[in-house]
Each structure stands twice: as structure tokens, then as C-alpha cells.
């Protein structure tokens, strides 16, 4: 029998402010000068994919467009490069969310890898179409690192939603 990484704990509803601040924190991580180093994941894509899978009714293509626009302006990239890639990522993540949540976390990470790779490839293709040079194969290491970070990111982003283990006798739930 294989061990699973799923939890039997009941989660509290996610607070909208936590989603907002996690997306802003991911955007700020992408603004760091180290964000363009080979192997550094696209934090916005990782967190956007996570929330599009977990909370598809709160985070979707609108957030993806706004965050993509912010990344385009910050990077000085082709306007729409990040927007288009993030909107496709949010749409695909939302469409696959019910399927993805059935898998244990390790398998979820493997299912998310093609989504993150497609996001990077879309950005590279749009950059090439605008006349830029090929960024190199190191550009595609980031989605593999983000896949490895899927499990810790899940635990960190779900941490505020965990119910306390000890139950209060004065609360019915």
C-alpha cells in the first residue's frame, strides 16, 4: 500500500485578503533581480496556478490578466506576453481543477508541470515573435523547480486554513 500525502483535516474557508497578499508576494518575488536567473521559478505562475486550482471562483483569468500586465510593465517585455500566458494558465488550471484535486500532492505536481512549461514556452514564443533572441534552454528550468516547490507551496498556502486540532467544547463545529 502506497502512502498518500492527502490530509483528512477539514479546511476553513480561505480569506480573500490572504489570496490577495500571496499573489502580491509572488509578484514582488518576480520583481527581484534574481528572478531572471536560470532555475528561478516564475512565482506568479506557481501561485496563480495554485489558487486557480484551489479557489477557481475567486482567482481566475481576471487576476491572471492584471498580474500579467504588471509583469509585462516591470520586465519591459512585449506587452501581453505575460498576460496571454497567465490567462491561458489560469483557464487551463481552472478547467483541470476538479481532476487535479483528486491526486495526491506528488502527482498533482507532475500534472502541473506541463501547465507551467506551456506558460514558459508561450512567453518564449511571444518574445521570439517580437524579434528577440532565444533565451536559452536554461529559461525552461524554472518550471521544473516550481514543480518541486508545489508540495511545500501547497502546505504554506493552505496553512492559514487548517482548523485547530484541539476542539473547543463551546463551538459546535
Looking at residues 36-40, what average pLDDT do you find?
84
Using the structure block, give the residue that is written with the C-alpha cell 476538479.
Answer: 98
Evaluate whether residue 99 is within a structural domain. yes
d(CA 29, CA 97): 25
Evaluate whether residue 171 is within a structural domain. no
Contact criterion met (CB below 8 Å) for 100 and 53 = yes
Evaluate whether residue 9 is within a structural domain. no
Evaluate whether residue 44 is within a structural domain. yes
Domain count for the chain, please give it: 1
Looking at residues 87-114, what average pLDDT do you find?
94
Looking at residues 72-94, what average pLDDT do you find?
90
Evaluate whether residue 21 is within a structural domain. yes
Provide the domain limits for residue 80. Answer: 16-160
d(CA 70, CA 79): 10
Least confident of 81-85, 98-102, 116-120, 130-134: 130-134
Quote the pLDDT of residue 163.
66
140 pLDDT above the threshold of 70:
yes
Contact criterion met (CB below 8 Å) for 30 and 51 = no
Quote the pLDDT of residue 145.
95
pTM of the model: 0.86
Evaluate whether residue 40 is within a structural domain. yes
R_g of the chain, CA atoms, integer Å: 17
Amino acid at each position: 500500500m502506497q502512502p498518500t500525502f492527502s490530509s483528512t483535516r477539514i479546511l476553513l474557508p480561505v480569506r480573500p485578503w490572504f489570496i490577495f497578499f500571496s499573489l502580491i508576494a509572488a509578484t514582488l518575488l518576480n520583481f527581484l533581480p534574481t528572478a531572471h536567473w536560470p532555475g528561478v521559478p516564475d512565482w506568479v505562475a506557481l501561485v496563480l496556478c495554485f489558487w486557480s486550482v484551489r479557489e477557481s471562483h475567486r482567482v481566475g483569468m481576471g487576476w491572471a490578466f492584471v498580474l500579467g500586465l504588471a509583469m509585462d510593465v516591470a520586465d519591459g517585455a512585449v506587452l501581453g506576453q505575460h498576460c496571454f500566458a497567465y490567462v491561458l494558465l489560469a483557464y487551463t488550471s481552472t478547467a483541470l481543477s476538479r481532476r487535479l484535486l483528486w491526486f495526491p500532492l506528488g502527482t498533482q505536481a507532475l500534472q502541473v508541470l506541463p501547465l507551467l512549461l506551456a506558460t514558459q514556452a508561450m512567453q518564449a514564443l511571444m518574445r521570439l515573435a517580437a524579434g528577440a533572441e532565444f533565451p536559452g534552454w536554461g529559461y525552461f528550468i524554472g518550471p521544473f523547480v516550481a514543480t518541486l516547490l508545489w508540495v511545500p507551496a501547497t502546505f504554506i498556502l493552505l496553512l492559514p486554513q487548517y482548523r485547530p486540532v484541539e476542539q473547543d467544547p463551546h463551538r459546535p463545529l
